[in-house]
């Protein structure tokens, strides 16, 4: 069944992660192969692993009158919004639509839980375990605290919703924003996600024996686990199809297992097929898939099955976790915006740190090097050397998480002279982030 959505163009974006701060530095990191993973030095976590810690968070401060929301998670959000371009775009959107007609839709996994961890540490020093008077669950740990903070920070008054479905959290904000706009509840949306390092996540994944003792190696024959990261990203969505735009999405819920993916990736495949159906886009029109690619044995294998069942064995795909680490609740927005940048700059990121692609895979994985989409697409996909028409190409973003359902989204764009890529990730609370495209005009009756 072919469906349709309200096309929403990406009017502005910004992101921050371990490898870079901002779009320009991110593209440089992708092209130069400079990742952000380092040996674990977070707090007092005595774990032999690598993490994607964002520089400068410890020295960042949230000023009055919003200082009561000061925590690592909200600092990351503030850093991601501290850029002239998205702020100018937001001011223009407020002038055009009104502050009360712009919604805020965010995803986060653990929110400001590190503040709670620090408060508990301090409370343990008292005989009767008293949390410090300065601690506020409402303004730091509560998942909504970030949305409330951002609304005040940028002056928005429209509806605000926070989604917390593990790794798919900030992928699901795209379909949610589209539905709110289509229902007339708002006219534009600031979508995003933020998640920060904390002891609970590090020790939790360590107890599951999923942390890697080296920088993660997605889809590698000898991959050994996850590198936990942190990050934040935001995109302003407004009605229209200029540039890169959301044109569809898909969601599914398999409820297979709280932490282990279905071995054939059935829920993820359903979400991807629905995303393609939304935009009436054939799977062969996809140039590149950005994988969730966590570098665990089971995730990568299940994702390979899902991707190959929908797209076949020829579409190039890779994971960017080697640059950023697994940013958990911010993974959806991070991968979606990396996909936007891949499209607008005509590149296909490689899988940083991957040395030997798993020979058991069915999909066509890329190695460590980034590829120029126009110049090297044919080489990577095994196609002829003739470039394909931009009007025929699309990209997609895929997310997987330890929830119970997947979601997917599609993005297309007006012709701007380049082919497009597909970014993909599957989520068990599956969120198919946007299928993104530059030069993806659709002419329909």
pLDDT tens-digit map of 113-144? 999 999 999 887 666 788 889 999 999 999 99
Mean pLDDT for the stretch of residues 327-354: 92
Preceding peptide of 382 cis, ω within 30°: no
What is the token pair recorded at 332?
A: 């959806």
* Whether pLDDT at 356 is above 50: yes
- Which pLDDT score is estimated for 263? 81
Q: How confident is the model at residue 391 (pLDDT cuts 50, 70, 90)?
A: very low
Q: What is the pLDDT of residue 370?
A: 55
On whether the CB atoms of residues 185 and 420 are closer than 8 A, the answer is no
Distance CA 371, CA 384 (A): 16
pLDDT tens, position by position, 21-58: 999 999 999 999 999 999 999 999 999 999 999 999 99
CB 119 within 8 A of CB 37: no
What pLDDT, on the 0 to 100 scale, is given for residue 242? 82
Q: For 184-202, write each residue's pLDDT tens digit.
A: 999 999 999 999 999 999 9
Q: Is the pLDDT of residue 275 over 50?
A: yes
The whole model's pTM is what?
0.86
Model pLDDT, residue 367: 66
Q: Which residue would you say has higher pLDDT here, 283 or 232?
A: 232
What are the backbone dihedrals phi and psi of residue 438, each rounded to the nearest 5 degrees, phi first?
-110, 130
Say how far apart CA 259 and CA 261 lie, in whole Å.
7
pLDDT band with cut points at 50, 70 and 90 for residue 442: very low
DSSP, res 389: P
Query: For the chain, what's the residue count?
Result: 445
Residue identified by tokens 């044995």 is 297
For the chain, domains (ranges, CATH) are 9-238 (3.40.47.10), 242-433 (3.40.47.10)
Phi, psi for 312 (deg, rounded to 5): 80, -175
Residue 63: is it exposed, middle or buried by C-beta count within 10 angstroms (0-12/13-18/19+)? exposed
pLDDT over threshold 50, residue 380: no
CA distance 257 to 188: 36
Catalytic residues: 167, 292, 326
Q: Are 149 and 69 in contact (CB under 8 A)?
A: yes
Is the pLDDT reported for residue 322 higher than 90? yes
Query: Tokens 């002038």 appear where?
Result: 95
Residues 6+ away with beta carbon under 8 Å from 408: 171, 249, 250, 251, 271, 272, 274, 275, 396, 397, 398, 430, 431, 432, 433, 435
278 band by pLDDT with thresholds 50, 70 and 90: confident
SS3 category, 51:
strand
Average confidence score pLDDT of the chain: 82
């Amino acid at each position: 069944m072919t469906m349709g959505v309200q096309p929403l163009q990406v009017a502005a974006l910004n992101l921050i992660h371990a490898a870079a701060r901002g779009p320009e530095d991110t593209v440089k990191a992708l092209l130069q192969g400079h990742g952000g993973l380092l040996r674990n030095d977070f707090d007092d976590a005595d774990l032999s692993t690598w993490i994607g810690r964002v520089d400068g968070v410890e020295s960042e401060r949230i000023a009055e009158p919003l200082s009561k929301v000061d925590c690592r998670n909200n600092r990351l959000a503030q850093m991601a919004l501290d850029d002239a371009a998205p702020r100018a775009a937001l001011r223009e959107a407020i002038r055009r639509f009104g502050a009360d007609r712009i919604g805020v839709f965010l995803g986060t996994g653990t929110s400001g839980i590190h503040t709670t961890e620090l408060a508990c540490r301090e409370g343990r020093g008292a005989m009767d375990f008293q949390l410090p008077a300065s601690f506020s669950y409402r303004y730091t740990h509560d998942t909504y605290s970030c949305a409330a903070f951002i609304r005040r920070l940028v002056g928005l008054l429209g509806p605000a919703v926070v989604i917390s479905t593990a790794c798919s959290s900030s992928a699901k904000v795209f379909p949610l924003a589209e539905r709110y706009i289509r229902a007339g509840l708002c006219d534009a949306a600031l979508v995003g996600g933020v998640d920060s390092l904390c002891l609970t996540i590090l020790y939790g994944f360590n107890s599951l024996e999923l942390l890697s003792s080296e920088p993660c190696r997605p889809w590698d024959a000898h991959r050994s686990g996850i590198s936990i990261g942190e990050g934040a990203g935001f995109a302003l969505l407004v009605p229209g199809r200029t540039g890169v735009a959301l044109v569809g999405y898909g969601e599914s819920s398999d409820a297979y297992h709280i932490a282990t993916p279905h071995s054939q990736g059935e829920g993820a495949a359903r979400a991807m097929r629905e995303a393609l159906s939304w935009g009436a886009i054939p799977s062969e029109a996809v140039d590149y898939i950005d994988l969730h690619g966590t570098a665990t044995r089971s995730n990568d294998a299940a994702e390979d099955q899902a991707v190959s069942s929908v797209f076949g064995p020829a579409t190039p795909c890779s994971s960017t976790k080697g640059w950023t680490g697994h940013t958990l609740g911010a993974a959806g927005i991070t991968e979606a915006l990396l996909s936007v940048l891949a499209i607008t700059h005509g590149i296909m990121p490689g899988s940083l740190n991957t040395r030997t692609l798993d020979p058991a895979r069915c999909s066509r994985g890329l190695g460590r090097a980034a590829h120029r989409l126009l110049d090297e697409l044919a080489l990577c996909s095994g196609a002829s050397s003739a470039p394909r028409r931009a009007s025929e190409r699309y990209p997609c973003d895929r997310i997987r998480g330890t929830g119970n359902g997947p979601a997917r989204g599609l993005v297309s764009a007006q012709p701007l002279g380049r082919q497009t890529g597909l970014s993909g990730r599957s989520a068990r609370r599956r969120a198919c982030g946007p299928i993104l495209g530059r030069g993806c005009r659709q002419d329909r009756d």
